[in-house]
């Protein structure tokens, strides 16, 4: 790829790998949208760019939310991101994991009773209530099963009350 700076005589050649090109789309509120494609097609790269998780390289183009240019500072407060790898502290319970997420990520004006209520609702929603006091444990060694860990990953993001959630 060539980049032009100034006039033709001051052309700067820069070798840049284009990971995504000509991508456009729209997502409607309330709809579940799935990105599908072959391995290496750029699904995760696109989600990382949309979510603001790509920090290196060059990103060209516009990301609009409800007709407004996306501002990462405010977007981070309304978005959740569930990574493919479930990373949790093994020495805490399911309830403690959700409580910590709620206390760290909900706005300070949300009072303690509301935070606790929200944690309880999310646990019920993703069927973690029976595992409330279970230790998370280490994957493949002890604690939660792979499926239970995935539900915990989703719940940790849901207690932050995101408007948009990305799932790898």
Domains and CATH numbers, the chain: 41-167 (3.40.50.300)
The number of beta carbons lying within 10 Å of the beta carbon of residue 115 is 17
**pLDDT at residue 1 is higher than 70:** no
C-alpha closest to that of 84 among 2, 1, 166: 166
Of 3-17, 77-91, 144-158, highest mean pLDDT: 144-158
* pLDDT on residue 144: 96
- What pLDDT score was predicted for residue 95? 98
- In this structure, the number of other CB atoms found within 10 A of the CB of residue 47 comes to 16
Task: Check: CB of residue 148 under 8 Å from CB of residue 156.
Answer: no
- C-alpha–C-alpha distance, residues 110 and 50, integer Å: 28
Contacts of 151 (CB under 8 A, 6+ apart): 126, 127, 128
CB 160 within 8 A of CB 168: no
- Cα separation, 99 vs 112, in Å, equals 10
pLDDT of the residue at 157: 96
Per residue in 55-105, pLDDT (tens digit) is: 777 788 888 888 889 998 889 888 999 998 899 999 999 999 999 999 999
Give the count of alpha carbons within 13 A of 162, CB side only. Answer: 19
Confidence of residue 5 (pLDDT cuts 50, 70, 90): very low
Confidence category of residue 168, pLDDT binned at 50, 70, 90: confident
């Amino acid at each position: 790829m060539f980049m032009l700076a100034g006039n033709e005589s001051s052309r700067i050649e820069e070798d840049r790998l284009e990971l995504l090109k000509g991508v456009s789309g729209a997502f409607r509120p309330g709809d579940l949208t799935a990105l599908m494609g072959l391995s290496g097609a750029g699904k995760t790269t696109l989600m990382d760019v949309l979510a603001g998780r790509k920090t290196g390289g060059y990103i060209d183009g516009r990301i609009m939310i409800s007709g407004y240019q996306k501002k990462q500072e405010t977007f981070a407060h309304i978005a959740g991101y569930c990574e493919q790898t479930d990373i949790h502290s093994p020495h805490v319970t399911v309830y403690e994991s959700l409580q910590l997420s709620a206390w760290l990520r909900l706005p300070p004006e949300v009072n303690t009773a509301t935070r606790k209520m929200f944690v309880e609702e999310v646990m019920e929603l993703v069927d973690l209530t029976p595992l409330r006091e279970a230790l998370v444990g280490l994957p493949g060694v002890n604690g939660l099963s792979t499926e239970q860990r995935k539900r915990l990953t989703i719940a940790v993001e849901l207690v932050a009350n995101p408007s948009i959630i990305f799932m790898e």
